[in-house]
Amino acid sequence: MTVVFSVVRCARCGLAAWPAPALCRACGSRELPAEQAGTGLLEETTAADPIVLGTVRTDAGPVVVARVEGASPGERVALRVDDGALTARSA
Amino acid sequence: MTAIVGAHETPYARHPAEDTDTTGILAAAVAGALADAGIAHGAVDGLGVASFSLVPDHAIDLAWRLGLRVRWLMDDANGGASAVDMLQHAVRAIEAGDAETIVLCAGDHLDRAAFRRLVEEYNRATAEHLTPLGYTGPNALFAMVTQRWLAARGLDRAALGAIPVAQRAWAAGNPAAVYREPLTMEEYLASPYVAEPLTRYDCVPVVTGADAVVVTGAPAGGRPHVRVRAIAALHNPDHQQGPGFGEGFADVARRLWPLAGVRPEDVDAAFLYDDYPVVVAVQAEELGLVPGGDIERWLRVDVLERGRALNTSGGQLSAGQAGAAGGMHGLVEAVRQLRGEAAGRQADVSLAVVGGYGMVLLRHGACHNAAVLERVA
């Protein structure tokens, strides 16, 4: 199953986070609805057999670790979750 | 005066005997540390333990198995930061009168299956978000921390290669290190990547083993002991959103040195947590151990050419990482150096700093602490 990646965004103060925290780190709120975060910038990658792992700064805010498929550092990427695996591909 | 009066490390083993178990190696470390301290088993009234493989047992089960009746008890789950963390609590417990003589121990026996389970399910975020990516273990995460740090400093990987190469030279003087043959910079640079820019020389060999120290409020005379001048910590400084450096140890340093009443340049030897070379460089920089902040020169000249006293056992990179004992390995080596008992590799040490680091939540370690220790004759 493939879905667009999502983070959560605090309903009180607006800070986005991932993985979903139990309390907002900025204001302590528990009201943290999900929000799609399907795009970002690929910052670093490393080939770690059998995959390429990367760091992505999402446009929503959170910095995440993803499996990279055919994208290079500095590129804009689309973020999808494929069977539980957060995957970054060239946008 | 509260002091460390005994230390012991069991022989680290790449391939432990068939009947090895975690309780047994922790017991060997505790017995060895008490023997080193000259303190009777019955005098112990506090116990702290850090171990990933002690489950389902906890500190109380271990106290029972070790035959210890204790007034103070601590389970520490903070991996490479656990030794300094337990020391922080133990010193204060003794000073507050909760206990008089505390043994702190850490160790692991992780067979192939147990190690795999540990790295795949290190915490919930790892199990839910990293393991499904198809790669397990922290090497690739620290490869990216290393890339960020090298880029921020404008250095190439040969700069950090000074750490594994220099520590291997120290390991030649430590019969207990699992890797003792010399390593040259050429060999280091020619080694294939595990995850670029890390090679196998940047990753710790997994071993079975345990470490222990004895802390007491009434040290006996006649032999040097080790006083804890200061301890400071900061955990989860950046919520896993920063680059993995620049926040934790920098904050620790701002509190550590004023508490210690000494300056970083007064320190004779450093025992910095070395799961990866970049982590050593980050501690050295942020704890203020690098003169003028010139890290490139410190690595190339002080560490590599002049053999500054840094992780004199060979560190975990050469001596091995015995799970949660990794955090105590440097503390035990610091105690040995400060007491003049590091045969084969003794440096001139009367003041030392020990750094602890650990617990990768998602992208890098979250726990940072450090202790300043001094020899008291």
The token pair at B313 is: 């056992």
Using a 10 angstrom Cβ sphere, with 0-12 exposed, 13-18 middle and 19 or more buried, the burial of residue B106 is buried
Could you tell me the pLDDT band of residue A24, with boundaries at 50, 70 and 90? very high
Which of A45, A47, A85 comes nearest B134 by C-beta? A85
Q: What is the pLDDT of residue B104?
A: 98
Q: What is the pLDDT of residues A29-58, one digit of tens each?
A: 999 999 999 999 999 999 999 999 999 999
The residue type found at B224 is P
Give the Cα separation of B342 and B338 in Å (integer): 9
SS3 B289: coil
CB count within 10 Å of CB B339 equals: 21
Q: What is the pLDDT of residue A82?
A: 96
Is 90 exceeded by the pLDDT of residue B1? no
Is 90 exceeded by the pLDDT of residue B221? no
The stretch B74-84 carries a mean pLDDT of 97
Could you tell me the pLDDT band of residue B222, with boundaries at 50, 70 and 90? confident
Element (H, E) at B6: strand B3-9
The residue type found at B247 is E
The stretch B181-204 carries a mean pLDDT of 98
Q: Check CB contact of A32 with chain B, cutoff 8 Å.
A: no
Which of A50, A51, A55 comes nearest B144 by C-beta? A55
Q: What is the pLDDT of residues B100-135, one digit of tens each?
A: 999 999 999 988 888 999 999 999 999 999 999 999
Could you tell me the pLDDT band of residue A1, with boundaries at 50, 70 and 90? confident
Mean confidence (pLDDT) of chain B: 97
Element (H, E) at B216: strand B209-216
In this structure, which long-range contacts are made by residues B220-224, counting pairs with CB atoms below 8 Å and at least 24 apart in sequence?
A: B220/B5, B220/B38, B223/B339, B224/B338, B224/B339, B224/B340, B224/B375, B224/B376, B224/B377
Q: Which residues of A31-62 are buried (b: 16+ CB within 10 A; e: fewer)?
A: ebeeeebbbbbbbbbbebeebbbbbbebebbb
Is 90 exceeded by the pLDDT of residue B377? no
Could you tell me the pLDDT band of residue B54, with boundaries at 50, 70 and 90? very high
Give the Cα separation of B273 and B328 in Å (integer): 9
Q: Calculate how close chain A gets to B196, using CA atoms only, in Å.
A: 6
Q: What is the pLDDT of residue A40?
A: 98
Q: What is the pLDDT of residue B124?
A: 95
- CA nearest neighbour of B122 among B170, B56, B78, B66: B78
The token pair at A32 is: 């943290």
pTM for the model stands at 0.97
Q: Calculate how close chain B gets to A6, using CA atoms only, in Å.
A: 13
Give the Cα separation of B152 and A89 in Å (integer): 26
Q: What is the pLDDT of residue B111?
A: 86
Q: What is the pLDDT of residue B99?
A: 98
Determine what percent of chain B is predicted with pLDDT higher than 90: 96
Q: Check CB contact of A47 with chain B, cutoff 8 Å.
A: yes
Q: Check CB contact of A55 with chain B, cutoff 8 Å.
A: yes
